[in-house]
Structure 1
Amino acid sequence: MDDFKLDKPTPYYLQFYFQLKKMIFNGTFKPGERINETQLAKSFGVSRSPIREAMRLLEKDGLLRADDRNGFSIASLTAKDVDEIYKIRIPLELLAVELVIDKANDEELQTLETQLEETENAIRNGAEETEMTSLNQKFHQLLVDFSHNRYLKNLLEHVNDLIHFCRILNYKGDNRPETILREHRSIFEEVKKRNKEAAKEYMMAHFNHDSEHLKRVLEEGKEN
């Protein structure tokens, strides 16, 4: 927390919202861990009010869960959560693939290919898990951006934080970056050929592999 400084023009509760989200994503707080509102307020040198407002926003995102003691804990995903998140995500991103094939121009397709090359270079250079997670997110985000459908983008933004939470957990395990890159390349090759059915099949297979792997990670976490 030492490198966190308040930006006065931005409301305090929003600054705490983004900072706490960052701490959840980087593992400072662990899934299931209870958050001490008073301790956080003391650490940041502020009253409890903006901390409480930030927590309410994080609860709406699904990253915090209220408990019966009038407090909050970091969300701890279950297999049921994964199923529910992916049931929302899959049809939206399959639609994004269709729209990219219809609407993306050659320059946008080149941007997707460059992103895959960046990912491959990052793997080769031993990039850290946080960078790999961001690169994974970037591929999917570009597909959504190049769908040129702002309503689709807005719908996905409502669950993007939980999807990102899933991505962080999904990188656990041997050879996950290579596996994900290989599946992304398969999707892209069909997008480049403007082959909707094949692209959607590869995307669906990618999602199935992701969700099953994530459920295994969650199950192993319960056993440890």
Structure 2
Amino acid sequence: MDYFAVNKPVPYYEQFYHSIKQMIFDGVFAPGDRIVETQLAKDFNVSKSPIREAIRMLERDGLVILDEKSRVIVYKPTLEDVEEIYFCRKALESFAVAHTTKIATDDEIASIEKLLNDTEIAIQNKEDAQSIIKLNEMFHNHIIDYTKNNRLQKQLSELRSLMYFFRIMNYKGENRAEVILEQHRGIFALIKSRKAEKASEAMVHHLQQDLDNLTAYLNKLNN
């Protein structure tokens, strides 16, 4: 991937925001790494101003932080952070899936099923991890979008970048793609049969298992 390719009609700072974010997701910048604005400006062959604005957007997302010397550092998750975000996800997404189960149209339910089938094909074809992770993210996003609850969507969208960051880490482990797909199919079966309470319980269980896997990965990383 060419991280430094730019598209002129889109504001530079927005392009740099997406490029740097993808570099973080791809591990070019690892958690705890320092990002030097002057070096990025040189790499992109631009002034520091749009780079600085892109960094502000990444800081807003929670993907970078400023240390005590105002240096830009890639966010390094703590167990406390992960537990707090998954607490929010379990509360909000369990409500979302129950509500979607009640009100989703047949076409919307069919679109979730197609997404799961596409995910299975991607796994069978051994597509790259990022493609499968994006499909997994879309499963959750479909459920949230089909609530048609703008305020719920807004609350979760504010966590979207960190949630995706955690999804990449959560993909680590044996047969994770297959395990996640199986759990998604279990949730979907309850949505399709309009069992709202059971779907809510299944979502909480799925997110708890994600949290357990992520916690084990972070503990291993830090030991």
Length-normalised TM-score, structure 2: 0.96
Instruction: Find out whether 1:197 has 2:197 as its counterpart.
Output: yes
* Number of aligned positions between the proteins: 223
Tell me the distance in 2 between the aligned counterparts of 1:3 and 1:56: 19
Deviation, structure 1 residue 14: 1.6
**Aligned counterpart, 1:76:** 76
**Aligned counterpart, 2:21:** 21
Deviation, structure 1 residue 55: 0.7
Matched-pair contact (CA < 8 Å) for 2:13–2:50: yes
Residue by residue over 1:167-224, the C-alpha shift from the partner in whole angstroms, topping out at 9 and shown as x without a partner, is 000000111011101110111111111111111111111010001110111111112x
Deviation, structure 1 residue 38: 1.0
What is the identity, as a one-letter code, of the residue corresponding to 1:85? I
Deviation, structure 1 residue 82: 0.5
Deviation, structure 1 residue 67: 0.9
**Aligned counterpart, 2:186:** 186
Deviation, structure 1 residue 143: 0.5
Question: Where do 1:20-99 residues align within 5 Å?
Answer: 20-99=20-99
Matched-pair contact (CA < 8 Å) for 2:6–2:15: yes
**Aligned counterpart, 1:170:** 170
Q: Indicate the percent of aligned positions where both proteins have the same amino acid.
A: 44
Matched-pair contact (CA < 8 Å) for 2:4–2:43: no
**Aligned counterpart, 2:136:** 136
**Aligned counterpart, 2:208:** 208
Tell me the distance in 1 between the aligned counterparts of 2:175 and 2:3: 33
Deviation, structure 1 residue 2: 4.8
> Secondary structure of 2:65's partner?
strand
Matched-pair contact (CA < 8 Å) for 2:99–2:147: yes
> Secondary structure of 1:8's partner?
coil
Residue by residue over 1:98-135, the C-alpha shift from the partner in whole angstroms, topping out at 9 and shown as x without a partner, is 22112101111111111111111111111211111111
Length-normalised TM-score, structure 1: 0.95
What is the identity, as a one-letter code, of the residue corresponding to 2:148? H
Deviation, structure 1 residue 11: 2.4
User: For structure 2, which runs of at least 5 residues remain unmatched after alignment?
Assistant: none
Tell me the distance in 1 between the aligned counterparts of 2:195 and 2:67: 48
Residue by residue over 1:58-109, the C-alpha shift from the partner in whole angstroms, topping out at 9 and shown as x without a partner, is 1111000101222111111111010111122121111111221121011111
Instruction: Find out whether 1:153 has 2:157 as its counterpart.
Output: no
What is the identity, as a one-letter code, of the residue corresponding to 2:166? C
Tell me the distance in 2 between the aligned counterparts of 1:37 and 1:4: 14
